[in-house]
Amino acid sequence: MRIENKLKELGITLPTPPAPVASYVPFVVSGNLAYISGQVTIAADGLKYVGTVGKEISLEDGQAAAKLCAVNVIAQAKAACGGDLDRVKRVVKVTVFVNAVPGFAQHPEVANGASDLFVAVFGDAGRHARAAVGAGSLPRNVACEVEAVIEIA
Protein backbone atom coordinates (compact mmCIF):
# COMPACT_ATOMS: atom_id res chain seq x y z
CA MET A 1 0.00 0.00 0.00
CA ARG A 2 3.07 2.26 -0.09
CA ILE A 3 2.31 3.58 -3.57
CA GLU A 4 -1.42 3.86 -2.90
CA ASN A 5 -0.60 5.94 0.18
CA LYS A 6 1.71 8.13 -1.88
CA LEU A 7 -1.04 8.70 -4.45
CA LYS A 8 -3.44 9.65 -1.66
CA GLU A 9 -0.83 12.02 -0.21
CA LEU A 10 -0.51 13.66 -3.65
CA GLY A 11 -4.30 13.96 -3.94
CA ILE A 12 -4.47 11.60 -6.92
CA THR A 13 -7.33 9.18 -7.42
CA LEU A 14 -6.64 6.70 -10.17
CA PRO A 15 -9.43 6.27 -12.70
CA THR A 16 -10.77 2.96 -13.84
CA PRO A 17 -8.58 2.33 -16.87
CA PRO A 18 -10.50 2.92 -20.08
CA ALA A 19 -10.97 0.03 -22.47
CA PRO A 20 -9.19 0.29 -25.80
CA VAL A 21 -11.22 1.66 -28.69
CA ALA A 22 -9.57 -0.39 -31.44
CA SER A 23 -7.69 -3.65 -32.06
CA TYR A 24 -5.09 -3.36 -29.33
CA VAL A 25 -4.79 -3.99 -25.61
CA PRO A 26 -4.06 -1.36 -22.94
CA PHE A 27 -0.92 -3.17 -21.79
CA VAL A 28 1.15 -6.26 -22.48
CA VAL A 29 3.19 -7.99 -19.80
CA SER A 30 6.19 -9.87 -21.19
CA GLY A 31 8.52 -11.34 -18.61
CA ASN A 32 9.00 -8.68 -15.96
CA LEU A 33 8.14 -5.74 -18.23
CA ALA A 34 4.75 -4.12 -18.68
CA TYR A 35 4.37 -2.20 -21.93
CA ILE A 36 1.66 0.41 -21.37
CA SER A 37 -0.12 1.59 -24.52
CA GLY A 38 -0.28 5.31 -25.19
CA GLN A 39 -2.61 7.07 -22.78
CA VAL A 40 -4.33 10.32 -23.68
CA THR A 41 -5.89 13.15 -21.69
CA ILE A 42 -9.10 11.43 -20.69
CA ALA A 43 -10.68 12.15 -17.31
CA ALA A 44 -13.87 10.92 -15.66
CA ASP A 45 -15.89 13.61 -17.44
CA GLY A 46 -14.32 13.17 -20.88
CA LEU A 47 -11.36 14.47 -22.85
CA LYS A 48 -9.33 17.36 -21.45
CA TYR A 49 -6.64 19.53 -23.02
CA VAL A 50 -7.94 19.26 -26.56
CA GLY A 51 -5.93 21.37 -28.96
CA THR A 52 -2.42 22.18 -30.03
CA VAL A 53 0.34 23.22 -27.63
CA GLY A 54 1.57 26.64 -28.69
CA LYS A 55 -1.83 27.57 -30.11
CA GLU A 56 -4.93 26.75 -27.99
CA ILE A 57 -2.91 25.04 -25.25
CA SER A 58 -0.28 26.87 -23.18
CA LEU A 59 2.99 25.31 -22.05
CA GLU A 60 1.61 25.02 -18.51
CA ASP A 61 -1.56 23.32 -19.71
CA GLY A 62 0.60 21.05 -21.86
CA GLN A 63 2.44 20.00 -18.71
CA ALA A 64 -0.89 19.37 -16.97
CA ALA A 65 -1.98 17.32 -19.99
CA ALA A 66 1.18 15.20 -19.74
CA LYS A 67 0.54 14.71 -16.01
CA LEU A 68 -3.03 13.54 -16.70
CA CYS A 69 -1.69 11.07 -19.27
CA ALA A 70 0.80 9.82 -16.65
CA VAL A 71 -2.05 9.30 -14.16
CA ASN A 72 -3.72 7.12 -16.80
CA VAL A 73 -0.45 5.24 -17.38
CA ILE A 74 -0.26 4.52 -13.64
CA ALA A 75 -3.88 3.30 -13.69
CA GLN A 76 -3.00 0.87 -16.49
CA ALA A 77 0.16 -0.16 -14.63
CA LYS A 78 -1.99 -0.97 -11.61
CA ALA A 79 -4.12 -3.25 -13.76
CA ALA A 80 -0.97 -4.84 -15.22
CA CYS A 81 0.24 -5.50 -11.66
CA GLY A 82 -2.99 -7.21 -10.63
CA GLY A 83 -4.01 -4.19 -8.56
CA ASP A 84 -0.77 -3.92 -6.54
CA LEU A 85 1.33 -0.89 -7.53
CA ASP A 86 3.95 -1.91 -4.95
CA ARG A 87 4.99 -4.48 -7.59
CA VAL A 88 6.40 -1.65 -9.72
CA LYS A 89 10.17 -1.97 -9.52
CA ARG A 90 11.05 0.78 -11.99
CA VAL A 91 9.64 3.06 -14.62
CA VAL A 92 12.07 2.11 -17.39
CA LYS A 93 11.14 4.19 -20.45
CA VAL A 94 8.59 6.90 -21.14
CA THR A 95 7.66 8.39 -24.49
CA VAL A 96 5.71 11.65 -24.52
CA PHE A 97 4.06 12.80 -27.73
CA VAL A 98 3.16 16.50 -27.86
CA ASN A 99 0.59 17.83 -30.33
CA ALA A 100 2.43 21.06 -31.08
CA VAL A 101 2.56 23.86 -33.60
CA PRO A 102 5.40 23.78 -36.14
CA GLY A 103 8.55 25.24 -34.66
CA PHE A 104 7.56 24.46 -31.06
CA ALA A 105 10.74 23.62 -29.15
CA GLN A 106 9.63 22.98 -25.57
CA HIS A 107 8.64 19.33 -25.84
CA PRO A 108 10.92 18.38 -22.91
CA GLU A 109 9.23 20.95 -20.67
CA VAL A 110 5.80 19.53 -21.55
CA ALA A 111 7.09 15.99 -20.93
CA ASN A 112 8.25 17.03 -17.46
CA GLY A 113 4.59 17.02 -16.43
CA ALA A 114 4.61 13.23 -16.81
CA SER A 115 8.19 12.60 -15.67
CA ASP A 116 7.79 14.65 -12.50
CA LEU A 117 4.67 12.68 -11.56
CA PHE A 118 6.40 9.32 -12.01
CA VAL A 119 9.22 10.48 -9.71
CA ALA A 120 6.76 11.93 -7.17
CA VAL A 121 4.84 8.64 -7.04
CA PHE A 122 7.63 6.05 -7.32
CA GLY A 123 10.64 7.98 -5.99
CA ASP A 124 13.99 6.98 -7.52
CA ALA A 125 12.25 4.00 -9.17
CA GLY A 126 10.28 6.58 -11.16
CA ARG A 127 13.40 8.00 -12.84
CA HIS A 128 13.40 6.78 -16.41
CA ALA A 129 14.80 7.06 -19.90
CA ARG A 130 12.60 9.30 -22.02
CA ALA A 131 11.78 10.65 -25.43
CA ALA A 132 9.76 13.83 -25.90
CA VAL A 133 8.46 13.97 -29.46
CA GLY A 134 6.52 16.61 -31.37
CA ALA A 135 3.53 15.44 -33.38
CA GLY A 136 1.53 17.21 -36.05
CA SER A 137 -1.62 15.74 -34.52
CA LEU A 138 -2.72 13.18 -31.96
CA PRO A 139 -5.89 11.07 -31.54
CA ARG A 140 -9.01 13.17 -30.94
CA ASN A 141 -6.76 16.27 -31.18
CA VAL A 142 -5.54 15.88 -27.59
CA ALA A 143 -2.51 17.89 -26.55
CA CYS A 144 -0.49 14.92 -25.29
CA GLU A 145 -0.11 11.14 -25.28
CA VAL A 146 2.19 9.12 -23.00
CA GLU A 147 3.33 5.50 -23.24
CA ALA A 148 5.66 3.66 -20.86
CA VAL A 149 7.64 0.52 -20.17
CA ILE A 150 7.52 -0.47 -16.51
CA GLU A 151 9.46 -3.21 -14.73
CA ILE A 152 7.33 -5.21 -12.32
CA ALA A 153 8.05 -7.85 -9.70
- Residue 152 pairs in a beta bridge with 88
Q: Which residues contact 54 (CB under 8 A, 6 or more apart)?
A: 100, 101, 103, 104
pLDDT exceeds 90 at position 18: no
What are the boundaries of each domain within the chain? 2-152
Are 150 and 115 in contact, with CB atoms under 8 Å apart? no
- Please provide the CATH number assigned to the domain covering 2-152: 3.30.1330.40
Question: Residues 26-78: pLDDT tens digits?
Answer: 999 999 999 999 999 999 999 999 999 999 999 999 999 999 999 999 999 99
